[in-house]
Amino acid sequence: MFIPYASGRVVQRPPICVAAIVLCHFLVFVAVGAALALGQSDRAVALFAHFGLTPSSIRWHTPFTYFLLHEHVAHLTANMLALWVFGGPLEAAIGWRRLLALYLIAAAATGLAQAGLAGLHGAEAAQTPIVGASGAVAAVAGVFVVRFYRSRVRFVGLPWAIPAIALVGIGALADIVGAVCDAFGAQRGAVALTARWAHLGGFALGMVWAQLQRLHREGRDEYTLSDAVGGHPIAAAERLATACANRPEDADAHAQLARAWLAAGDPDRAADAFHMAMRLMLRGGRRANAIALLDEMRSSIPDAPLPASDQLALARAMEDIGQHAGAAEAYRRLVDRWRGTAEATVAAVRLGELLLRRLDRRDEAIEVLQRFLAENPGGDARSYAERLLHEAQAPV
């Protein structure tokens, strides 16, 4: 038996939501198994009757509980392995909230659809509780193949990986064939005991949901970025520029574009891309990343101009994360380069305060503040600068 164990997607952080879902399923299975092991088979049957989705008597909560129950360990393990392989990378791409919403909605929708079909196959099928997370897991797989359509799945015992889209397609085809055989064969009463319709409904629901969420476009843009890294430097930079136009809020894509323009020998375009990436990182609260990118730009393009507003924002970011010496140097550069601007006025006062209160460099603080007051006879910042200067000149 070949067991899937990885999708080929590198996940930077543990998929907490997927792990929690898997844990919940196993805890419920253990609880049912414990009841059976203790000879409380009536209690186990009652759990299936109360929380399973019985087509003839659907209660308000059962569409949201039936999928936690499984008939046997192989049923549970197969579903949870598939959820782990497909769900982990998907959680990293779309976030745990959207993944959890997808899982619950797909479970309810596919369960109700399967219950409706089972009700058409006689009283026995209508009275048999539906259990298992097959429909929800199939929906996750459907979203996965839309978002990561180039990904491959690795199996224990197989020396090669299988394309995920082919794997899901084969599974869907097998379910279609099985559903047709059930419909026209002698096993019409067993339809409610299978998850074929849940699989097919889940695949379809997941793929439609992914298209509505524009995940195919996200996947296409991601692959465009990865493809653009290779080849001739100028052609690679142009492909990256196209990808960045499709993903204007992706700071990492703009950072890649900056490096591509450097490799292509165009420092001006590289500087523009660096500026955009840093702005996006600061906007997203990634101060440390923006500062690291600033250091990279300065080492690669020492003479690259930095707009006063960007330089002030980066200096403030350094100050916020405790890099006071670096912030002081950034404020000083801003004052020297953009003297007379509103940003330089703010930077001069901030520089004086940092030198005085954070770095204990009183003489430098006095020099900076005296120069500021001499060059700015008026303005809102003057009174604060005077107080700082008085503090700096006071006896220790």
Summarize pLDDT for 49-67 with one digit per residue, the tens.
889 898 888 889 999 999 9
In this prediction, residues 21-46 reach a mean pLDDT of 88
Q: Which residues contact 375 (CB under 8 A, 6 or more apart)?
A: 339
Q: Which residues contact 178 (CB under 8 A, 6 or more apart)?
A: 194, 196
Burial class (CB in 10 A: 0-12, 13-18, 19+), 367: middle
Residue 151 in contact with residue 8, Cβ under 8 Å?
A: yes
Instruction: Give the predicted TM-score (pTM) of the model.
Output: 0.66
| β-pairing verdict for 3-6 and 152-156 | antiparallel
Considering only residues 63 and 5, tell me which one the structure prediction assigns the higher pLDDT: 63
Write the pLDDT tens digit of every residue in 271-298. 999 999 999 999 999 999 999 999 999 9
Nearest alpha carbon to residue 140 among 99, 200, 172, 96: 99
Collapsing DSSP to helix, strand or coil, 393 comes out as helix
Query: The domain 216-305 is classified under which CATH number: 1.10.132, 1.25.40, 3.30.420, 3.40.50?
Result: 1.25.40
Domain 306-396: what homologous superfamily?
A: Tetratricopeptide repeat domain (1.25.40.10)
Do 216-305 and 306-396 agree at the fold level? yes
Q: Is the pLDDT reported for residue 260 higher than 50?
A: yes
Q: What is the mean pLDDT of residues 165-178?
A: 88
Instruction: Say whether pLDDT at 328 is over 50.
Output: yes
Q: Are 359 and 325 in contact (CB under 8 A)?
A: yes
Token reading at 369: 């503040």
Kindly report the CA angle at 66 between 60 and 69, in degrees rounded to 5?
155
What's the pLDDT score for residue 228?
A: 63
φ/ψ of residue 101, rounded to 5:
-60, -45
Report the top-level CATH class of 3-213: mainly alpha
The Cα–Cα gap between 232 and 235 comes to 5
Least confident range from 188-197, 248-257, 351-360: namely 188-197
| 319 membership: H or E segment, kind and range | helix 308-320
Which pLDDT score, from 0 to 100, does residue 247 have? 82
Segments making up each domain of the chain, as ranges: 3-213, 216-305, 306-396
- For residue 51, give the nearest of 73, 70, 74, 35 by alpha carbon: 70
The alpha carbons of the chain give a radius of gyration, in whole angstroms, of 31
State the Cα–Cα distance between residues 103 and 294, nearest whole angstrom: 41
